[in-house]
Structure 1
Amino acid sequence: MKRKSITSRDVAKLAGVSQSAVSRCFSPHAKVSQRTREKVMAAARELGYRPNTIARSLITRSSRTIAVVTYSLENPFYSFVLERASRFFQQQGYHLLLFFAPPNGGFDAVLDEIIQSQVEGVLMLAITLDGEQASVVADFGIPVVIINRTVNYTGISQVGSDNYAGGFWAGSYLASLGHRRIAFLAGLPDSSTNRQRHDGFVEGLKSQGLTCHSLEVGNYRYEDACHATRRFFAAPSPPDAIFSANDLMAIASMETLRHELGLTVPDDVSVIGFDDMPMAAWPSHSLTTLKQPVDLMIMKATELLLEQINETESTPQQLTLPVTPMLRNSTRRPGRGGASGQTSN
């Protein structure tokens, strides 16, 4: 026998309140007294009532849904960012839909799915767009914020870190430690973060009278970074320091150096990463890195997205947030002429 569908009217009758009071109890941020909420929730549990969010969205014309688009969760940094964003949006009464796009552009592949999902906004996490693609997205009228990527288009809000400054610090700092064969372990070559970190790194070396010793591509992936490190050290003149475009690749490089090549970090090779994901501080890694302000990035990005969702007119913003050097044990200690005044963990 088919079970009778429990409605908000049934809950209201059992709780002794109006049907509108029941609706307010299940609406995020609606005003309702604590006593009424407790009565409604007790009645809902007793009856096994579950609000129909789909039906409500048809009535209110609000899906309360945000699309999050990324290309991978292999990098723990992005899992960390996604968790923080999820918690924030849940507190605001929004649900998240997760979409995956190809790493080298290819956002078009998921754009149709996002539009058909009737989401109210889109949060792009490390998605590479060109100006034309960004313009197409903006033309659909769906609020969009990009985190940790930049695009040469002012019609979309963007929140990222000062990748150039971080790269400059890494290059100049490794040079100040006495290293002379300093290599760059690149991420996705076409990504804005990789280009900006590389450009800053090269200028940082130049400020110390050096050039980039060698470059290999790790695509922001662990296995690719291991292969890249092997290529570095198969050369006749291997590097004595590596700046990696993210922490995941830096850790892969250190693992390869220590366990395959028999080298010591930092005595033989210093390594610097970028992100400061939680495991970077683990004693087995103790990675010197550039800390991205994750909480501030998420706060700014989500505020901008909700502002665009809730307001008919909102001007897109491009925010660049500062990074902080975290000095740990994967780099040599500064000697005479070493960097000073940096933050340590």
Structure 2
Amino acid sequence: MVTMQDVADRAGVSLTTVSFVVNGTKPVAERTRQRVQTAMADLGYRRNVVARALASRHSRIVALVFPALEHRLSATALSIVTAAASAATGRGFNVVLWPVAGADQLEDYVSGGLVDGVLLMEVTADDPRIAVLERRGVPFGLIGRTREPDGLSYVDMDFDAMVTTGLDHLVDLGHRRIGLLIGDLDSPSWAGYGPITRTEAAYRAEADRRDLDAVVVRAAQDPRSGHRAADELLADHPDVTAVLALNEAALPGFVNGLLAAGRAVPDDVSVLGIASSVEAIATADPPVSAVVAPGPELGRRSLEALVDRLTEPSTPPLQLLLGGELRPAGSTAAPR
């Protein structure tokens, strides 16, 4: 095992100098720092994260908190995690994923002081995890936002804008009977989940503004529930010719339900995903057009905002909404 002393001998510097470079505890002349880093690379030396944390009193670790027992780690969520991890590496930080179920478990995790900051995912309207982090004095940011986000740092999707983009596309194609497929807020795991509430509110407001009848069907986050939602839609509203869908997990089942009922996509019913991932629309059969979720940018911008506040505590909170890009994939067309 290569030690810091080995690196010091190779670089021709003191052990203390190597420690300064490894732990970032004191500035080192650029030429000396490069010599140490070259020696580290030649010898295959790897930083000991725990030792570095002890030396600097900072772990340089950010935790992404995801309620994995309640929510499925979708392709969109995974793209957020991956982008955050990549951005952290570029800033000299590491990312860990905490599959934390609730506020009590989060308190157990943060009480050990293992991380410098926390990013909360799957944020609810009155998220109890925020009070834990504020009481513990742990710097944090939100991927998503609460009902009253004043003073909080967040990066979220602009669901209002994505609904408008989706309706513009379908109305321009000639559709006048446009439904909405969303998640089921009656499910305990989705209670208070902001994206569902915001998307439905935006859809109803836009439908009213455009003089369209609002038709909403709900499904749990799984393909079987999506299939049942398609059956419900066709039974209750057979004249609907297009559907916006904010339910990535249920979307494949919903499309299969339409096909099983003899409805062709897009000839009989156009389907347009909202906040879907690139992977989800590419792997669907048939491929589904979508207003694609800005998952990678969500992960990168939220991580960078938190690191900015960790390195300079006076940095003001970032409050940012990101829209999505319309990507046609063949599941939308003019109505017959």
TM over 0.5: yes
Equivalent in the alignment of 2:99: 100
* TM-fit CA distance, 1:254: 1.6
Q: Distance in 1 between matches of 2:219 and 2:125?
A: 20
Q: Distance in 2 between matches of 1:93 and 1:295?
A: 19
Equivalent in the alignment of 2:197: 195
Q: Quick one: which amino acid aligns to residue 272 of structure 2?
A: I
What does 1:238-253 align with in structure 2 at a 5 Å threshold? Answer: 239-253=240-254
Report the CA distance shift for 1:310/1:180 in structure 2 as closer, same or farther (over 3 A). Answer: same
Correspondence for 2:59 among 50, 60, 63: 63
Deviates more, 1:204-213 or 1:287-296: 287-296
Equivalent in the alignment of 1:265: 265
Deviates more, 1:150-159 or 1:6-15: 6-15
Q: Deviations over 1:132-189 (max 9, x none)?
A: 6534432322111111344413232111121012223434543454444432211252
What does 1:1-345 align with in structure 2 at a 5 Å threshold? Answer: 7-24=3-20, 26-27=22-23, 31=30, 32-42=32-42, 44-45=43-44, 50-71=46-67, 72-102=71-101, 106-130=102-126, 133-171=129-167, 173-187=169-183, 189=185, 190-219=192-221, 221-235=222-236, 237=238, 239-258=240-259, 260-279=260-279, 280-281=281-282, 284-333=285-334
Equivalent in the alignment of 1:343: none
Which secondary structure state, in structure 1, belongs to the residue aligned with residue 215 of structure 2?
coil
Report the CA distance shift for 1:236/1:152 in structure 2 as closer, same or farther (over 3 A). Answer: closer
Which secondary structure state, in structure 2, belongs to the residue aligned with residue 203 of structure 1?
helix
Which secondary structure state, in structure 1, belongs to the residue aligned with residue 333 of structure 2?
coil
Structure 1: segments with no counterpart, 5+ residues? 336-345
Q: Distance in 2 between matches of 1:160 and 1:206?
A: 25
Q: Deviations over 1:33-58 (max 9, x none)?
A: 5444323432x34xxx5543212211
Report the CA distance shift for 1:35/1:15 in structure 2 as closer, same or farther (over 3 A). Answer: closer
Q: Distance in 1 between matches of 2:105 and 2:161?
A: 33
Report the CA distance shift for 1:160/1:302 in structure 2 as closer, same or farther (over 3 A). Answer: same
* TM-fit CA distance, 1:13: 2.7
TM-score (norm 1): 0.80
Q: Distance in 2 between matches of 1:70 and 1:251?
A: 24
CA contact (8 A) 1:168 1:202 kept: no
Q: Distance in 2 between matches of 1:240 and 1:151?
A: 33
Which secondary structure state, in structure 1, belongs to the residue aligned with residue 151 of structure 2?
coil
In angstroms, what is the RMSD of aligned CA positions?
Answer: 3.0
CA contact (8 A) 2:106 2:129 kept: no
Q: Deviations over 1:179-219 (max 9, x none)?
A: 44432211252311111111111122222212222422334
Q: Distance in 2 between matches of 1:62 and 1:197?
A: 40
Q: Distance in 2 between matches of 1:191 and 1:315?
A: 26
Q: Distance in 2 between matches of 1:101 and 1:40?
A: 36
Q: Distance in 2 between matches of 1:281 and 1:334?
A: 23
Q: Deviations over 1:227-253 (max 9, x none)?
A: 322333344746432211144433332
* TM-fit CA distance, 1:291: 2.7
Which secondary structure state, in structure 1, belongs to the residue aligned with residue 111 of structure 2?
helix
* TM-fit CA distance, 1:309: 0.9
Q: Distance in 1 between matches of 2:271 and 2:14?
A: 64
Identity value in percent: 25
Q: Quick one: which amino acid aligns to residue 216 of structure 1?
A: R
Equivalent in the alignment of 1:341: none
Q: Quick one: which amino acid aligns to residue 304 of structure 1?
A: A
Q: Distance in 1 between matches of 2:34 and 2:315?
A: 35
* TM-fit CA distance, 1:121: 0.8
TM-score (norm 2): 0.82
Report the CA distance shift for 1:317/1:11 in structure 2 as closer, same or farther (over 3 A). Answer: closer
Which secondary structure state, in structure 2, belongs to the residue aligned with residue 116 of structure 1?
coil
